[in-house]
Amino acid sequence: MKTPSCVCGVSIFFLFLFFSTHAWAGHDTARPAKKGILLVAFGTTVPEAKTALDQIESQVATRFPGLPIYWAYSSRQVRSTLADSGTHYDSVATALARMADEGFTHVAVQSLHTIPGAEFQGLRETVTAMTGLPKGIKHIELGQPLLSSHEDLVACAQAIMDTLPEKRGPKDAVLLMGHGTHHPANVYYPGLQYYLWQLDPLVFIATVESAPFVDDVRRTLQSRKVQTVYLMPFMAVAGDHARNDMAGPEEDSWTSILTSDGLTCIPVLRGTGEREAFVRLWLDHLHIALERLAQ
Ligand code: CO
C-alpha cells in the first residue's frame, strides 16, 4: 500500500511548486520573478570617457539578452558634478530602490571597479543592506571587480599583453596607470606587476595615489636604458586621471616627468572599459553572479 501515498506526496509537491512559482494575487511573497542587471561604475565627468561605459553596456546586452540593464555611479562627487550640469545618475542604493519599486525580484549587481577596494566594499555593504527588505528585491548577487583572485590576475595580465600598442618596438616599455588607494586592496597593483613580469619585463604598473610609485618605475626605466614608453590608463575609463595626471602638460604629470628624464612618451587614451579583452573578464564575473541568482 506504499504506492498511493507516494503518488499523493508527489502531487502535493507539484501543487506546491505550482503555487510557489505563480503570481498569487494580493500576496507579495509570490510575486512573479523579474530579473535584472545593475552595472556599477565609479563614474566619470569626462563625456569622451563615458563611451567606455556605453560600450560595456552594449556588450552586456549582447551576452545576456533580454535582461533589463540599470546603472549606478558609486562616486558621490562624480554624481554631484554631473547633476550640476543637468545629468542625473543614481547611487547604488537609489538604483536598487528604484528596481525594487519597479518589481524586480532578482538582481545581479556587477562592479566595474578594478580592485576590491573602498568603492567595492561600499558597494557590498549597500547590497547587503538592500537585500531582503519588505516588498524589496528578494535576491541580489554581487559580481566581483576586475581583479579578485589569482585566476583574475593571470587573465588580466594576459589581457594587458593582448592589448599592448601594435607599434611598440622590442625595447619600448609600457607603463600602466592604476588608480591606487589607501585601502589594503591596493596590493593588487604590485600583485599584478608580478604576473606582468612573468610575461614581459618591460611592462610596468604604477598608481596615481599609492604604490607602486611612478618614481620606482622611473629608476628602473633609466637603469634599463629605455628610450620610449607607452603610457596607458589601467582604469575602466580614460577620464580625468588619464587625461591630466598621465598625459597632461602639467609639470607633475607622468608624461612631463618621464619626458624630463629624456624618454619619448606616447600616451594612449583608452580605458580598460573600451577594450573587449577586459570587458570580457568583468562579464565573466557577471555570468557567475547571474548563475548564483538562478539557484
Ligand atoms: Co581619483
For 231-269, the pLDDT digits (tens) are 999 999 999 999 999 999 999 999 999 999 999 999 999
pLDDT over 70 at 5, yes or no: no
**Quick one: pLDDT at residue 48?**
87
Q: What angle do CA 160, 165, 171 make, to 5 degrees?
A: 95
The mean pLDDT of the chain is 92
Q: Which residue has the higher pLDDT, 277 or 11?
A: 277
Average pLDDT (54-74) is 97
Residue 25: band (very low, low, confident or very high) from pLDDT cuts 50, 70, 90: very low
pTM summary value: 0.88
Residue 67: what pLDDT?
98
- Å from CA of 179 to ligand 1 middle: 6
Task: Record the cell numbers describing residue 126, joined without a space.
Answer: 549597500
Ligand 1 centroid to Cα of residue 85, in Å, is 20
Q: Cα of 113 to ligand 1 centre, how many Å?
A: 12
158 alpha carbon – ligand 1 mean position (Å):
25
Active site residues: 179
Query: Residue 49 above 70 pLDDT?
Result: yes
**Average confidence (pLDDT) over 67-84:** 97
Q: Is 164 exposed, middle or buried (0-12, 13-18, 19+ CB in 10 A)?
A: middle
Residues 6+ apart with CB under 8 A from 196: 157, 160, 203, 204, 205
CA of 283 to the centre of ligand 1 (A): 24
Note whether 273 and 237 are within 8 A (CB).
yes
Which pLDDT does position 28 carry in this prediction?
52
- Who's near 13: CB < 8 A, 6+ residues apart? none
Band the pLDDT of 60: cuts 50, 70, 90: very high
Give the model's confidence band at 31: pLDDT under 50 very low, under 70 low, under 90 confident, else very high: confident
**pLDDT (mean) for 124-148:** 96
Give the pLDDT of residue 266.
98
Instruction: State pLDDT tens for residues 184-241.
Output: 999 999 999 999 999 999 999 999 999 999 999 999 999 999 999 999 999 999 999 9
Distance of CA 235 from the midpoint of ligand 1 (Å)? 10
Question: Using CA atoms, how far apart are residues 239 and 233, in angstroms rounded to an integer?
Answer: 9
Spacing, Cα 114 to ligand 1 middle (Å):
12
Helix H or strand E encompassing 210: none
pLDDT at position 22: 46
